[in-house]
Amino acid sequence: MKDIGLWGERLQKAYLDMGVFDLGDSNLDLLMTQDEEIAEALDRKRFAVEEQERVAEVAEAIAEGGAVS
C-alpha cells in the first residue's frame, strides 16, 4: 500500500488494529523467493512419493503378468 501511495492515517490505524502493521516493512521479494523455494521443495517431495508408488505399481503389474503364463 505504501508503494502505491495509499498509506494514510486511516489505513495505518486499520493495520494496527488488525495487528499486521509491522508486515508493511517486509521484503516482498525475499518473501516471494522463500515461498517459491518452499513450493519447489514440496513438489519434489510429492513427486518422489508419486514416483515410488508408480514403481511399485509397475513391479506389481510385471509380477502379475509373469504369474499368468
Helix, strand, coil percentages, rounded to 5, for the chain: 80, 0, 20
pTM to 2 decimals? Answer: 0.53
pLDDT reported for residue 63: 92
20-66 per-position pLDDT tens digit? 888 877 888 999 999 999 999 999 999 999 999 999 999 999 999 87
Asked if the structure places residue 44 within a domain, the reply is yes
| pLDDT at residue 67 tops 80 | no
Confidence at 69, pLDDT banded by 50, 70, 90: low
Q: Which residue range(s) make up the domain with 55?
A: 9-68
**56 found inside a domain:** yes
In-domain check, residue 1 = no
How many domains are contained in the chain? 1
Q: Grid coordinates representing 55?
A: 514403481
CA 39 to chain centre: 3
Cell of 59: 513391479
Instruction: Tell whether 3 is covered by a domain.
Output: no
